[in-house]
Chains A and B, each alone.
Chain A
Amino acid sequence: MKKFLLFIFFAFLLYLFFAPFSALFKHLLTTEIVPHPFVETFRSSLLHTALRNTFGLGLAVASLSAVFALGLAFLFTRTDFPLKSWWRGAFIMPYTVPPIVGAIAWILLANPNNGFLNVWTGWHLNIYSFIGLVLIETSFLFTYVLLILLKAFEAIDPTMEEASRMSGATTWQTFRHVTLPLLRAPLFNGFLLAFLATTASFGVPALIGTPGGIFLLTTQIYTFQKMGSMSGILKASSLSLILMGLAFIILLLSEGPLRIRQFATISGKTPRPQIAPLGSWKWPLFVIIAIIFGILFVLPLSAIVLAAFAKVQGILTWSNFGFSNFERILFHTDETFRAFVNSLLFAGTAGIFCVLAGFGLAYALKYVFSPRLKGVTSILVSLPYVTPGTVLALALLVGFGPGLFGSWLALNSTGFLIILAYSIKFLNFSYKTLEDGVGQIHPCLDEASRLSGAGTWQTMRYIWWPLLRPSIIASFFLVFMPAMFEVTMTVLLTGPGLETIGAFIFHLQEYGDLGGGGPAVLALLVIIPTGLFNFFLKFISKGKYGL
């Protein structure tokens, strides 16, 4: 009986992921429009431009991220760089912040009309450019590579490097001949991950690229979709297939493709590697790193704070600052309250669903089904995560919009579709966390409880819940946090009354909020809770999750 129920549950999860995509295919195959939209898309110069832009941006961002992250990881793990543990935490922070916040900040700083930098210095910076895209995307995505490399640097057995020193090699020779070759695989994986994330990104390209006439595959899909016509949707679907194909090719290239782990566990035994003295390079490097940090993070954050508190943008007098933007956005804009409630509701529901589904999967694979299914499950659960959000949202719209199980329950323009999107996309996080948690509980604890006379329910309540509580809370927040401020999927699935914070910020910025302070206020309201959640997560999991 238990086995049967779990089987149904498995089948349901499979259905949730595969049905939308089969609908997407069916849609494209059965259309009678001539010429076929797929063929038309393929011939279109729009596709070629979007492909070229996507590839170019991906390569630029991934290469820059790899070089920058490699340098930082080396400084933070192998040298006597001043205050390195503080810097390390500071440089990882952007990992948790939605990149759209960066786009808002840089628009404030460097839009060609009245960007702060242009107004104050007389420069002619234009953020709506390819360089602007590269700058903003890199300032967030290099953290992916940095996290992988920090872990990899720490995983290298220090005696490997010591043996090289004893062979007569200097620090630099050791880095070149021993450390760097040992890092080749993680560096390559980090590069691919940054490339993949760039090609799947939507918020930054939509706010920065689109006004500058630079379209990527994701923003082109969005534009086609928003045309609203059948042919537009079909063209969007065609582009989606191409984008998805691109993503899967990249994944096949990477080593251990779907084993990409977010929120890598950083705790554990850390061996002490040799620390190279930077000597006379120490302070010049410190200044360079501080300047980079200032430009990439302090400057944008200050711009947001200034804009949020300024009554009139760009004026730096005390009397110009106050809470008028907050008042307007929080108390005189109906959408704000609705967006917060919706975001909490959607992300919370998705979090609960993912905890239940993740626990069900982890438990079933340990106690009911053969553990050999673990590998397959792990891949299946990761698939939606690595599918670009734009593609996933479009598939859900086409597949489940008209109804779940055929036309049994129409979901178009209901929050349910958004919740489903979050759940499918982020199930990966909760499953991996709970699989770890369940794996650490030895079966004999379960058995001892049963032999003491406890039934399934009592064993769950008295043994599993107390032991698993940290993992359950962590897995909830790992889903809740990215879902709370999600933009990419939400803007495709949202509708009147269904605003979320992410979608609301996006629309405010896209349609030019009067006075300009609105998006900045909301961006602050995103940054602060993300920081708090992260701190809470780290606290509750005793440093295992969170940054």
Chain B
Amino acid sequence: MSSVTLSNVHKSFGDVVVVKDLSLKVPDGDFVSLLGPSGCGKTTVLRMVAGLERNNSGVIKLGDEVVSNPEAKIFLAPEKRHIGMVFQSYAVWPHMNVFDNVAYPLKIKKLSKTEIDLHVWEILKLVELDGLEKRMPAQLSGGQQQRVALARGLVMRPKLLLLDEPLSNLDAKLREKMREDIRKIQQQFKITCLYVTHDQVEAFTMSDLIVILNEGEILQTGRPQEIRQNPANNFVADFIR
């Protein structure tokens, strides 16, 4: 397990500044939500932690390891960071069945077939997909595809799991069940989670810590209870209402 530390991280696309001088610490084993309106830079923060975007300046650390520091020309490729990620669009590969999708990270690590079988079955049971392992993604519902993506993110026992609005494409009822399931799995694995959402209900029901972002800056960081009782400013108060 591992903590995440961002120090003075800055990111712009051309002239557009997306993340301004952001510093943040995600404690080991915690479930931390990045909450904010669309376009506030929260997904960009997540993608910089993943290594899918490069920060222009500042330092990103996973545990004690610096994974990105442009000043020192340090950048660790995403495949070397050992991070699980669940995408908003699920990104379940349409040409592989459920089993192969989930087994992929282990296959890349060149694990033996018996080891792969063992780990994949365990995870499939956990996300309640056992029995569907031969199905192709096109034959799955949105909720089931979501579980495939989650299982794929967890199967290699990553230090850190990143979730980018994973529930936004599900219907209200399913969303509620998945919220509980994700939280349960997180506690069982004791895995550090960084969760991006624009839905304050999701953030408040799932998180140990909430980070409220707007226009690339942190407005407030705190436990759900603290934020609810003492919103830092009018924007926060209005947004969480």
Q: Interface residues, chain A, CB within 8 Å of chain B?
A: 157, 159-160, 162-170, 173, 177-178, 181-182, 184, 274
* Contact B79–A166 (Cβ < 8 Å): yes
Are A167 and B108 also in contact (CB < 8 A) when A159-B87, A162-B52 are? yes
* Contact A160–B93 (Cβ < 8 Å): yes
* B159 on the A face (CB < 8 A): no
* Contact B78–A160 (Cβ < 8 Å): no
Selected from B77, B83, B91, B162, the residue in CB contact (under 8 A) with A159 is B91
Are A274 and B52 also in contact (CB < 8 A) when A165-B79, A167-B105, A169-B108 are? yes
* Contact B91–A165 (Cβ < 8 Å): no
Q: Interface residues, chain B, CB within 8 Å of chain A?
A: 50-52, 77-80, 82-85, 87-89, 91, 93-95, 104-105, 108-109, 149, 152-153, 156, 162
Taken together as a complex, chains A and B put the C-alpha atoms of A182 and B92 apart, in Å, by 12
Selected from B82, B87, B95, B105, the residue in CB contact (under 8 A) with A162 is B87
User: Whose C-beta in chain A lies nearest to the C-beta of B100?
Assistant: A177
Are A165 and B52 also in contact (CB < 8 A) when A159-B87, A170-B79, A173-B108 are? yes
* Contact A165–B152 (Cβ < 8 Å): no
* Contact A166–B109 (Cβ < 8 Å): no
Are A168 and B79 also in contact (CB < 8 A) when A162-B52, A177-B104 are? yes
Min CB distance B53 to A, Å, is 10
A-chain residues with CB within 8 Å of residue B83 when the two chains form the complex:
166
User: Whose C-beta in chain B lies nearest to the C-beta of A166?
Assistant: B85
* Contact B109–A162 (Cβ < 8 Å): no
B-chain residues with CB within 8 Å of residue A170 when the two chains form the complex:
77, 79
Taken together as a complex, chains A and B put the C-alpha atoms of A184 and B51 apart, in Å, by 28
* Contact A165–B78 (Cβ < 8 Å): yes
Can you list 22 pairs linking A and B with CB atoms under 8 Å apart? A157-B91, A159-B88, A160-B91, A162-B50, A162-B85, A163-B91, A163-B93, A165-B51, A165-B52, A165-B79, A166-B52, A166-B162, A167-B79, A167-B105, A168-B82, A169-B108, A170-B77, A170-B79, A173-B108, A181-B93, A182-B93, A184-B95
* Contact A166–B84 (Cβ < 8 Å): yes
Min CB distance A262 to B, Å, is 27
Min CB distance A267 to B, Å, is 20
Min CB distance A165 to B, Å, is 4
B-chain residues with CB within 8 Å of residue A166 when the two chains form the complex:
50, 52, 78-79, 83-85, 153, 162
A-chain residues with CB within 8 Å of residue B78 when the two chains form the complex:
162, 165-166
Taken together as a complex, chains A and B put the C-alpha atoms of A166 and B77 apart, in Å, by 9
Min CB distance A420 to B, Å, is 45
Min CB distance B81 to A, Å, is 8
Taken together as a complex, chains A and B put the C-alpha atoms of A163 and B145 apart, in Å, by 14
Are A167 and B93 also in contact (CB < 8 A) when A162-B78, A173-B108 are? no
User: Whose C-beta in chain A lies nearest to the C-beta of B102?
Assistant: A167
Min CB distance A156 to B, Å, is 10
B-chain residues with CB within 8 Å of residue A164 when the two chains form the complex:
93, 104
* Contact A168–B156 (Cβ < 8 Å): yes
* Contact B108–A168 (Cβ < 8 Å): yes
A-chain residues with CB within 8 Å of residue B80 when the two chains form the complex:
168
Taken together as a complex, chains A and B put the C-alpha atoms of A184 and B94 apart, in Å, by 12
Residue among A160, A168, A170 with max Cβ neighbours from chain B (10 Å): A168
Taken together as a complex, chains A and B put the C-alpha atoms of A134 and B105 apart, in Å, by 42
* Contact B79–A163 (Cβ < 8 Å): no
7 shortest interchain CB distances as A-B pairs: A167-B105, A159-B91, A163-B91, A166-B85, A165-B78, A159-B87, A181-B95
Taken together as a complex, chains A and B put the C-alpha atoms of A170 and B76 apart, in Å, by 12
B-chain residues with CB within 8 Å of residue A178 when the two chains form the complex:
93
Taken together as a complex, chains A and B put the C-alpha atoms of A163 and B93 apart, in Å, by 9
Taken together as a complex, chains A and B put the C-alpha atoms of A535 and B16 apart, in Å, by 32
* Contact A182–B94 (Cβ < 8 Å): yes
User: Whose C-beta in chain B lies nearest to the C-beta of A274?
Assistant: B52
Min CB distance A148 to B, Å, is 18
Taken together as a complex, chains A and B put the C-alpha atoms of A164 and B109 apart, in Å, by 12
A-chain residues with CB within 8 Å of residue B156 when the two chains form the complex:
167-168
* Contact A169–B89 (Cβ < 8 Å): no
Taken together as a complex, chains A and B put the C-alpha atoms of A165 and B83 apart, in Å, by 10
Min CB distance B45 to A, Å, is 16
Min CB distance B201 to A, Å, is 25
Min CB distance A251 to B, Å, is 24
B-chain residues with CB within 8 Å of residue A181 when the two chains form the complex:
93, 95
Min CB distance A182 to B, Å, is 6
User: Whose C-beta in chain B lies nearest to the C-beta of A169?
Assistant: B108
Selected from B51, B77, B152, the residue in CB contact (under 8 A) with A163 is B152
* Contact B89–A157 (Cβ < 8 Å): yes
User: Whose C-beta in chain B lies nearest to the C-beta of A276?
Assistant: B77
Taken together as a complex, chains A and B put the C-alpha atoms of A159 and B50 apart, in Å, by 12
A-chain residues with CB within 8 Å of residue B85 when the two chains form the complex:
162-163, 166
Taken together as a complex, chains A and B put the C-alpha atoms of A27 and B88 apart, in Å, by 63
Are A168 and B52 also in contact (CB < 8 A) when A157-B91, A160-B93, A182-B94 are? no
A-chain residues with CB within 8 Å of residue B105 when the two chains form the complex:
167-169
A-chain residues with CB within 8 Å of residue B82 when the two chains form the complex:
168
B-chain residues with CB within 8 Å of residue A182 when the two chains form the complex:
93-95
B-chain residues with CB within 8 Å of residue A162 when the two chains form the complex:
50, 52, 78, 85, 87, 91
User: Whose C-beta in chain B lies nearest to the C-beta of A277?
Assistant: B77
Taken together as a complex, chains A and B put the C-alpha atoms of A157 and B156 apart, in Å, by 23
Min CB distance B169 to A, Å, is 13
B-chain residues with CB within 8 Å of residue A184 when the two chains form the complex:
95
Taken together as a complex, chains A and B put the C-alpha atoms of A173 and B107 apart, in Å, by 11
A-chain residues with CB within 8 Å of residue B153 when the two chains form the complex:
166
Taken together as a complex, chains A and B put the C-alpha atoms of A131 and B128 apart, in Å, by 59
Min CB distance B94 to A, Å, is 7
